[in-house]
Amino acid sequence: MMKNVLIVGTGGIGCELVKLLYNSVQIKITLIDFDIIELTNLNRQFLFTSKDIKKYKAQIVADKIKYITNWDVNVIIDNIFNFNLDFFKQFDIVYNCLDNNETRTYVNTRCFLLKLKLVDGGSNGYLGQSCIFDYSKECFDCLPKQIPKNYNICTIRTIPTKFEHCVEFIKEIIIEKGEVFKVKNLKKFINKQILVQNGNKKLKVKYNSKIYSKN
C-alpha cells in the first residue's frame, strides 16, 4: 500500500529529504511551504538555481522531482498554520523540515492529537539532528529547549520578518571579527548589501537624507 507523506518545509533539509524518499520508495508526497527562493539559498539548497529566484520553493522542488522521476507531487503554497486536524488525518507520516520551534510545535500538536508519526529534523552549522515521535512516550514539546542567543544567518530572509532578524542582519553585514567597519554613509552601505544579496548590485538607490557613523 502506498504511503501518504506530508513534508512541511522545502528548504535545505526538505530538498535532501525529497531526493532520498523518491530514490528509495514509491510514496505519495505532499509538499507545503509558502517561502520563495532567494539568492542566499542557492549554496545549500541544491535543487534550486539562479533561474528559480523569486519562485516558490515547494513548486520548484515538485517540478524538479517530476522531471527526474515522472512522479506527481502534490504542492500546497500556504502557511501550515492555516490547516486543521482534518487536513492532517489523510497522512501516514509527517516530516518537519523547519527552522523555527513555533511551527514545529504547531505541527507536533496536530500529530499528537491524531497519534500520527512525526519525524523532525534540524541543523545548525555543520551539526544536525533528527527525532522520531510515535507518541507512545514523549512528544516534541516534552523535550527541553534552549532559548537561542543568536539567530543563524541561513534562517534570515532577505526581508526580515522579526526584530531579532533585523539585528542579526545588521551584525552580519557591518561587524566582522568583532570590529565595526568605519562606514561614512551607513544607510547607503546597508542598501548596497541588500541589493548585492538580491543579485541587483548594479542598481542605484536615491536618498533624501544621509546617516553618518561616528569615526
pLDDT of 210 above 80: no
Task: Say which amino acid occupies 42.
Answer: L
Q: How far is CA 182 from CA 24, 179, 190, in A?
A: 53, 9, 13
- How confident is the model over 143-168, as pLDDT tens digits? 766 655 555 555 555 556 665 666 66
pTM of this prediction exceeds 0.75: no
Q: Convert 86-116 to b/e letters by CB count within 10 Å (16 or more is b).
A: eebeebebbbbbbbeeebbebbbebbbeeeb
Q: Which triple of cell numbers denotes residue 27? A: 510514496
- How confident is the model over 17-38, as pLDDT tens digits? 998 998 777 789 999 999 999 9
Q: State the catalytic residues.
A: 154
pLDDT band at residue 177 under the 50/70/90 scheme: very low
Question: Which among 187, 124, 198, 190 has a CA at the least distance from the CA of 158?
Answer: 198
Residues of the chain with CATH 3.40.50.720: 3-142
Higher pLDDT, 101 or 172: 101
The length of the chain in residues reads 215
Task: Say which amino acid occupies 26.
Answer: Q
Domain spanning 3-142: which superfamily? NAD(P)-binding Rossmann-like Domain (3.40.50.720)
pLDDT band at residue 71 under the 50/70/90 scheme: confident
